[in-house]
């Protein structure tokens, strides 16, 4: 019985081209397909990854310092650099960008770009609508109630949606949403680092015992 044998194909230089190994082995490919079949688990993974990536940029999402400031023709990045207040005509070592004097000074000589949430994880809201802990902003009846403690009421420049506490505040008037974003990042990074260290120690201990 005649058998045909496939002859190897050669490249232009006469060498046999290497076959590319797949990124995942057949077993892992099957595992991945089984995981994708579980729609809840699959979309939960993507949701977790999106939230984790966003939390890595927490300083650009929730911060009591502007991302970018233009002052007297100079571009400043308070999100990275702690500028002294004397740069804006003050005298303190650290600039409080929520101070009306600083805001008016910058507005008169330039502009500011704020994060969507104007609170960091430790920022105390001095204009919280009620006694702390305050309820979420969407539970208030009107904008007037939310901005009652601002000097200008609803016409105050700081009566802005980014200054509202959308998930409320804790007992020290700190924004819950900002603290959740920063806390999520710390928790996930701590878990990943701990798992990595445990894996290295476990593999090393197993290798030593096996040897």
pLDDT for 109? 94
pLDDT for 29? 87
**Mean pLDDT within 40-46:** 94
**Mean pLDDT within 41-69:** 95
Q: Give the three-class secondary structure for 9.
A: coil
Q: Is the dihedral of CA 180, 61, 163, 64 positive or negative?
A: positive
Cβ atoms of 42 and 35 within 8 Å: the answer is yes
pLDDT band at 24 (very low <50, low <70, confident <90, very high): confident
Cβ atoms of 78 and 115 within 8 Å: the answer is no
**Mean pLDDT within 173-200:** 96
pLDDT band at 93 (very low <50, low <70, confident <90, very high): confident
């Amino acid at each position: 019985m005649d058998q045909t044998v496939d002859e190897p194909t050669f490249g232009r230089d006469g060498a046999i081209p290497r076959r590319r190994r797949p990124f995942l082995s057949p077993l892992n490919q099957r595992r991945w397909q089984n995981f994708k079949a579980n729609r809840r688990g699959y979309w939960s993974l993507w949701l977790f990854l999106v939230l984790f990536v966003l939390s890595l940029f927490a300083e650009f999402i929730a911060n009591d310092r502007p991302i970018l400031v233009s002052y007297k023709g100079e571009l400043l990045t308070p999100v990275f650099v702690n500028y002294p207040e004397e740069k804006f005509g003050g005298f303190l070592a650290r600039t409080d960008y929520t101070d009306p004097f600083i805001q008016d000074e910058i507005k008169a000589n330039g502009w500011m770009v704020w994060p969507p949430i104007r609170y960091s994880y430790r920022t105390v809201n001095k204009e919280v609508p009620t006694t702390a802990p305050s309820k979420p902003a969407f539970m208030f009846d009107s904008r007037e109630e939310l901005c009652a403690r601002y000097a200008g009421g609803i016409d105050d420049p700081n009566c802005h949606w980014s200054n509202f506490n959308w998930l409320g505040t804790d007992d020290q008037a700190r924004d819950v949403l900002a603290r959740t974003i920063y806390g999520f990042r710390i928790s996930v990074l701590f878990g990943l680092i701990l798992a990595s260290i445990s894996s290295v120690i476990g593999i090393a201990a197993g290798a030593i015992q096996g040897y």
